[in-house]
Amino acid sequence: MSKYQNTFAKFIAPESDAAISKKVNDIIKKQADKHLTADVLKKIHGFIDLTSLTSLDTKESIWKLTERVNDYEGSRPDVPNVAAIFTYPLFVETVKQALTAQSVSIAAVSGGFPSSQTFVEVKVAETAMAVMNGADEIDVVLNLGYFMEENYDDLSEELSEIKDACREATLKVILETGALVNAENIHKASVLALYSGADFIKTSTGKGFPGATLEAAYTMCQVIKTYNEISNRKAGIKISGGVKTAEDAIKYYCIVKEVLGEEWLDKDLFRIGASGLLNDIEQRLGK
C-alpha cells in the first residue's frame, strides 16, 4: 500500500453524491432561514475576500478598490471590514501602497492561475515575488493534470515547494471542484492539498469551470474535520465562484457551522471570495 493510500485510509470515504445532496438539502432547509439575519450578515461581511481578477485590471482600478476598503473602515463600528483584498500578483504592491485599513490582508493568486499549467519553477518564483511585494496570502490551483493521472508525488512536491516559497504567508489551495465533478475526487484532492501544506482549501477559480457548490463545500468540510481530529491542526475553507447574494452566502455559512462548528465561523478559518456579495450585504445592512 502506497503512502497516499495509507493517508486516504485514515479518512472515512465520502458518501454517494446523491446522499450528500440530501444531507445538504436537509441542512439548508432547517437552518438557512433562521440564519438570514443582520447579525450573521455582519459576520459574513468580515469573511469576504474582495476580489478583482480581470484582464482589464489596472493600477488605478485596484487603487480605487483598495480605497473603497479604506473608506469603509470605521464607518460601521458594528460591522467588520473585509478579510482581504484579492488581486493578481502584479497589483500586490499597489494594494500595499494604498491600504490603510487595519486588519485587512493582501491576497494574490499565483502559480499559473487559473490553469496551473506552467513550470513549477515559475509557480515558486511567482509566489516568492508576490510575498516579497507584500502578499499575506497566496491562492494557487492544485495541478489537476497530475491529480487526474494519479501522479500524487509530483502534485504533493509541487505544493510543498510553493508552501516553502510562501514563508509566513497563508497558502490557499484551489481544488477547482467544478472540474473534479464528484465527491470522491473532491475528497481525495482535499486530503492531498492538506497533507501537502495547505492552510486553506478553496473550491474554485471562477474561471472556465462551474463554481462552488454546497455539496463540494460539505465534502471539503468533512475532510477538514477529520484532518483536525488526526493532526490537531485547523485548516480553513474558502468558497468562491458564484456566491453573489446574501442567501447564497448564508447557505455556505450553514454548511460550515453544521459540519465544523462555531470555531470555524471566523475569518482565520472561513472565507468567501466575492465582489458582488459585498454590495448585496452592504445594501441590506444600510448605512
Catalytic (active-site) positions? 139, 202, 238
DSSP type of residue 12: P
Kindly state the cell numbers that stand for 113. Answer: 492561475
- Whole-angstrom Cα distance, residue 152 to residue 158? 10
Residue 239: its H or E element: strand 236-240
DSSP type of residue 1: -
Contact 200, 170 (CB under 8 A): yes
Neighbours of 23 (CB within 10 A): 17
DSSP reduced 3-state for 77: coil
- Whole-angstrom Cα distance, residue 169 to residue 196? 15
- Whole-angstrom Cα distance, residue 185 to residue 182? 6
Cis before residue 114, ω within 30 degrees of 0? yes
CA distances to 65, 76, 119, 137, 194 from 200, in Å: 24, 28, 23, 10, 8
Half-sphere exposure of 276 (CA within 13 A, CB side): 10
Q: Single out the residue of 217, 167, 158 nearest to residue 27, CA to CA.
A: 217
